[in-house]
Chains A and B, each alone.
Chain A
Amino acid sequence: MNKPLVWMGQAVLYAALAAVILVFTRWPSYQNLPADSALIKLSISHQGKVLGDCVELTPEELAKLPPNMRAPVSCPRERSPLTVEIDVDGVLAYRQVAQPSGLSSDGAAVVYHRIEVPAGAHAIEVRMKDDARSEGFDYTRSETVTLAPAEILVVDFDAAERRIILL
Chain B
Amino acid sequence: MSSGPVRAAWLRIEEIIDPLFPGGTNPMRNLGALACLMFAALLVSGIYLYIHFDTSTDGAWQSIKRLSDEQPWLGGWLRSMHRYAADLFVTFTLLHLLREWVLGHYSRFRAMTWLTGVPLLAFMYVSGIGGFWLNWDVLGQYAATASAELIDALPMLDGTLARNFLDSGAVSDRFFSLLVFIHLGVPLMLLFGLWFHLQRVTRPRILPPCALLLGQLVFLAAMALAWPVTSGAPADLDRVPVALALDWFVLHPLPLATALSAAVFWSLLAVLFGVLLAMPVFYARHTEPVAVVDADNCNGCRRCVDDCPYSAITLEAHPDGKPGKQIAVVAVERCASCGICAGACPSATPFRSVSELVNGIDMPQQSVDSLRRKLVDDLAHAETAPVVVFGCRHGIDVERNRSVDVLGYNLLCIGLLPPSFIEYALRGGAAGVVVCGCADASCEFRLGNQWTRERMLGTREPHLRRTVPPDRHRVVMLGRHEQGPLDAAIDSVRKNTSQGGNP
Residues of A within 8 A of B (CB): 1, 6, 9-10, 13-14, 17-18, 21-22, 24-27, 29-33, 35, 38-39, 41, 43, 45, 98, 101, 110-112, 114, 149-152, 154, 156, 167
Residue of chain B at shortest CB distance from A154:
B166
For residue A13, which residue of chain B has the nearest CB?
B20
Residue of B nearest to A41 (CB): B166
Find chain A residues with CB under 8 A from B255 CB. Answer: 30
Q: Please give me the 4 A-B residue pairs with the lowest Cβ-Cβ distance, nearest first.
A: A112-B159, A9-B20, A30-B246, A1-B19
Residues of B within 8 A of A21 (CB): 84, 87-88, 91, 223, 249
Q: Which of A14, A38, A98 contacts B158 (CB 8 A)?
A: A98
What's the Cα separation between A90 and B106 when bound, in Å?
58
- Beyond the given A29-B246, A30-B255, A110-B159, please list 17 additional residue pairs across the A-B interface where CB-CB is below 8 A: A1-B20, A6-B19, A10-B215, A22-B227, A24-B248, A24-B249, A25-B84, A25-B87, A32-B142, A33-B242, A35-B242, A43-B166, A112-B152, A114-B149, A150-B242, A151-B238, A152-B237
B247 within 8 A of A: yes
> Is there a chain A Cβ closer than 8 Å to B482's Cβ?
no
- Closest-by-CB residue of B relative to A34 is B242
Partner of B219, one of A9, A17, A43, A98: A17
Residues on A with beta carbons closer than 8 Å to the beta carbon of B83: 25
Query: How many whole Å from B265's CB to the nearest CB in chain A?
Result: 16
B223 touches A152 (CB 8 A): no
Residues of B near A151 (CB, < 8 A) are 238-240
With A14-B219, A30-B255 known as contacts, the answer to whether A43 contacts B162 (CB < 8 A) is: yes
Binding site for A on B (CB under 8 A): 17, 19-22, 27, 83-84, 87-88, 91, 142, 149, 152, 156, 158-160, 162-163, 166-167, 215, 219, 223, 227, 237-249, 255
Q: Could you tell me the distance between the alpha carbons of A156 and B165 in the complex, rounded to whole angstroms?
A: 13
The answer to whether B215 and A14 have CB atoms under 8 Å apart is yes
Contact of B21 among A10, A45, A150 (CB under 8 A): A10
Interface centre among B158, B167, B238, B245 (most CB of A within 10 A): B158
A-side contacts of B17, CB under 8 Å = 13
B246 partner residues in chain A, CB cutoff 8 A:
29-30
- CB–CB B240/A32 < 8 A: yes
Whether B22 contacts A1 by the Cβ 8 Å rule is yes
A104 and B311 CA atoms in complex are apart in Å by 51
Give bound CA distance, A9 to B20, whole Å.
Answer: 6
SS of A interface (majority): mixed
A-B contact pairs, 5 of them (CB 8 A): A9-B20, A30-B243, A32-B142, A111-B159, A152-B239
- In the assembled complex, which residues on chain B have CB atoms less than 8 Å from the CB atom of A30? 243-246, 255
Please pick, from B91, B162, B163, B244, the residue contacting A32 in the complex, using a CB distance under 8 A: B244
- Cβ contact within 8 Å between B245 and A27: yes
> In whole angstroms, what is the CA distance A27 to B245 when docked?
6
| CB pair A112 B162 closer than 8 Å | yes
Chain A nearest CB, measured from B313 CB (Å)? 39
Which chain A residues lie closer than 8 Å to B163 at the CB level?
43, 45, 110, 112
B249→A152 contact, CB < 8 A: no
Check if A110 sits within 8 Å of B160, measured CB to CB: yes
Q: Given contacts A24-B249, A32-B142, are A18 and B237 in contact (CB under 8 A)?
A: no
* B162: chain A residues within 8 A (beta carbon): 43, 112
List of A residues within 8 angstroms of B160 by Cβ: 45, 110
Residue pair A32, B242 in contact (C-beta under 8 Å): yes
A97 CB to closest chain B CB (Å) equals 13
